[in-house]
Chain A
Amino acid sequence: MDPAEVEFLAENQMVSIVPNFNFERIYLISGDVGPFRAGLPVQVPIWMATNLRQRQKCRIIAPDWMNTEKLEQVKEEESQSRFFTKMPSEHYMVEGHLLLGAASEDIPHADEIRTILKDIWDMRMSKLRSSVDAFIKIGGTHAKLDHLTAMEINSIRPLLPHALDELYKLQKIVRIISI
């Protein structure tokens, strides 16, 4: 998959906005949105939030995990643990990327949050690399992908599945010969 496709999937996550206009409820296939009342917070998908924000129709309220304290805590946990820890959101990186990109003025300490997110991402990517390597070396047959987010899984595809295919082919030959 392309990162843009993962981003597309992540854009369905809900986020709170404060609109500055009044509008009726909108009926969408994925669910109803609204009604919009100026000044009252309402939950909308990210794609709608970023679009409204770009047209200056609303103010985005940062998700409750998107603050420096919470993220520092997550980062601390991630660095302490040998395994992947649970992220506050299934698409933390994409959400951070989209919301900080579209509405960095609405989110307090946007720059700090960006840095912490990047730190967490880098830490997890390096963990991912070393665990992939260990997985191949010991010739593992299955791996638990608990708490890995879609973008992270996507970053080692199709390299890992294809490498495993090739390895399987080679191992099959050895097995047949030694029978």
Chain B
Amino acid sequence: MPGRTEFIQTIGKALGRGAGNAGDADIFTTTASLEQEALLARIKTRSAAERKQLRGVIEQVAGPLHIDFHPEDNLDDIAGAIGRLILEKDPEWGTEKSVVRWDHPLLSRLHLESLAELDGVTLHTTDCVSGGQGAKVSAAAQRSAIRENVEASFIGITSADYLAAATATLVMRSRPGHARSASLVPSIHIVVIEEEKLLANLEELYTLLKWDPEEQAQGLTNCLSLISGPSKTGDIELVMVHGAHGPRELHLFIVKGEAP
């Protein structure tokens, strides 16, 4: 890394580094505070009733954020509602209707491919590992096929790792099968997420990401996205317009938790 040593030395000199000034030892936090521990415990023991309350919060904030929150809360109804959306909405860039979705267990359980009304619609999956048994497709070829499918699709369906209720913030990590572009390039983004993934706010999210052992093991990955509403701009006379570059619409479905 050329220049790194000199660069850092220049900073050290500017900071007056030397004996007695080695920098703060506690600059990186390595143990959770009592408040953070308590918050973690609260997240982990959240009751179904409390989650339902968070659902209510999302219902309220969705409108101002221009998110279409849908009331359906079981997989069959959600699949039906998504089917209707696919039929009702028009593609922005062409006439053919293609839809792309993540390779994700919850989305597979919607069985969109078995909806009779979607006969004329092509359903793609951003599936990195399939591509035919035996015939091993190269990673590059797979990527370019996924890219082509995403570009051709007018609707992208994804899930999310979490949903922070106060700001309706969806949290998505880059993973095999979870294309980043599926939530970005198609004109309409549909999200289906389980009620168990609801958090109260960003503070809860960051506390989890930072201190929860499972989250620590996973890390943020090379790309973690927080998405709060569809794409928007106010760059012409501060007039709010939705659909600047990303999706014009964001539709949200929350799957109700299993009865205990």
A and B, one complex? no
